């Protein structure tokens, strides 16, 4: 059932409180949060932290990107794969770093350092922040962990599904621009991400009525980033090229994620928040 509303936070908090109340584990609840770039994930989790400042740990899969040096090395190994020439798609994250961080948080393993990534470094290419600047969390106080990101919860599809999607690539915005071989690398890399998703006790998707709005939303993000970083960041054309690199993954995996496929969640543990082009909520669906 879908209901109409206008504000994300009350429904997000209601969902989290329900999950906390029905949880039978003494370990922190782990929630995955996904949404296309610019959908409002950061704003939502910042509001969550303000509401639960001492018992909530939030970090982004974006903070687990490869270092700039490792990303340059990966790009040089696969020079013809346009999706690997910058950070973003599955295969450009340090999965082990994310798993290790979640493991320590769930086990309440003392003071935990949350990874941090600066997207403005190297003229917008980005790099990991020095560990001395990471956030330190006292995990003994944590009862809720939220992992957010643009591809959180995306799960690999079968070889036949991938081949079929490539054959129909002309009907997609960007999928047809890539070879089956290059997409196979991304799909294969995504299989290891299930080690991260297996931590989830619940999942929330900030969905958009119009996926192509990601171009405008991501440009808005970059303008704000440049303002905060003395003008450093990507140009408008660079932003378009950057988003083009993400779109094949939206086209391949987002529909399955909308259904919670591959996440092995209990009934009631999946929340879909549907927004319009102005990021206003127009529907709520709990599965």
Question: End-to-end CA distance of the chain, in Å?
Answer: 9
Rounded to the nearest 10°, the torsion over CA 184, 189, 194, 195 is 160
pLDDT for position 172: 62
Helix (H, G, I), strand (E, B) or coil at 108: coil
Q: What are the extents of the domains in the chain?
A: 2-286
- pLDDT of 241 reads 83
- β-pairing verdict for 111-114 and 135-138: antiparallel
To which CATH superfamily is domain 2-286 assigned? P-loop containing nucleotide triphosphate hydrolases (3.40.50.300)
Name the burial class of residue 211, with classes exposed (0-12), middle (13-18) and buried (19+) by CB atoms within 10 angstroms of its CB.
Answer: middle
Report CA dihedral (197, 201, 207, 213) to the nearest 10 degrees.
Answer: -40
CB 219 within 8 A of CB 236: yes
Contact predicate 39/278, CB 8 Å: no
Pairing of strands 144-149, 56-60: parallel
Residue 110 has φ and ψ, to the nearest 5°, of: 65, -145
Rounded Cα–Cα distance for residues 114 and 121 (Å)? 19
| CA of residue 194 relative to chain centroid, distance | 13
Q: Which of 87, 108, 93, 118 is nearest to 27 (CA)?
A: 108
Helix locations, 54-136, DSSP H:
68-77, 95-106
Per-residue pLDDT of the chain (287 residues; tens, 9 = 90+): 333 445 899 999 999 999 999 888 889 999 999 998 888 898 899 999 999 888 999 999 999 999 999 999 999 999 999 999 989 999 999 999 999 999 999 999 999 999 999 988 998 899 999 999 999 999 999 999 999 999 999 999 999 999 988 887 655 668 888 899 999 999 999 999 999 999 999 999 999 888 788 888 888 888 887 888 888 778 888 888 878 888 899 999 999 999 999 898 988 999 999 988 888 899 999 99
pLDDT at position 4 is 40
**CA trace torsion 66, 224, 227, 83 (10° rounding):** 30
Beta carbons within 10 angstroms of residue 286's beta carbon: 18
């Amino acid at each position: 059932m879908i209901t109409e509303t206008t504000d994300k936070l009350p429904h997000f908090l209601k969902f989290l409180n329900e999950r906390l109340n029905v949880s039978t584990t003494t370990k922190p609840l782990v929630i995955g949060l996904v949404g296309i770039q610019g959908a409002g994930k950061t704003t939502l989790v910042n509001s969550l932290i303000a509401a639960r400042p001492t018992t909530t740990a939030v970090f982004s899969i974006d903070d687990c990107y490869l270092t700039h040096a490792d990303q340059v090395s990966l790009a040089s190994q696969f020079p013809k794969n346009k999706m690997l020439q910058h950070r973003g798609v599955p295969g450009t994250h340090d999965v082990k770093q994310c798993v290790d961080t979640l493991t320590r948080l769930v086990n309440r393993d003392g003071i935990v350092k949350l990874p941090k990534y600066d997207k403005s470094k190297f003229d917008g290419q980005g790099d990991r922040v020095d560990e001395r600047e990471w956030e330190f969390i006292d995990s003994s106080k944590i009862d809720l962990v939220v992992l957010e990101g643009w591809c959180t919860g995306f799960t690999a599809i079968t070889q036949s599904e991938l081949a079929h999607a490539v054959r129909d690539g002309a009907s997609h915005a960007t999928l047809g621009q890539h070879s089956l071989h290059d997409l196979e690398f991304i799909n294969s890399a995504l299989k290891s991400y299930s080690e991260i998703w297996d931590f989830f006790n619940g999942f929330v998707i900030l969905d958009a009525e119009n996926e192509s709005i990601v171009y405008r939303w991501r440009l808005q993000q970059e303008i704000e980033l440049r303002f905060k970083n003395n003008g450093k960041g990507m140009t408008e054309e660079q932003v378009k090229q950057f988003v083009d690199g993400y779109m094949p993954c939206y086209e391949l995996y987002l529909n399955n994620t909308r259904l919670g496929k591959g996440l092995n969640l209990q009934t009631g543990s999946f929340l879909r928040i549907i927004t319009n082009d102005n990021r206003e909520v127009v529907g709520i669906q709990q599965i």
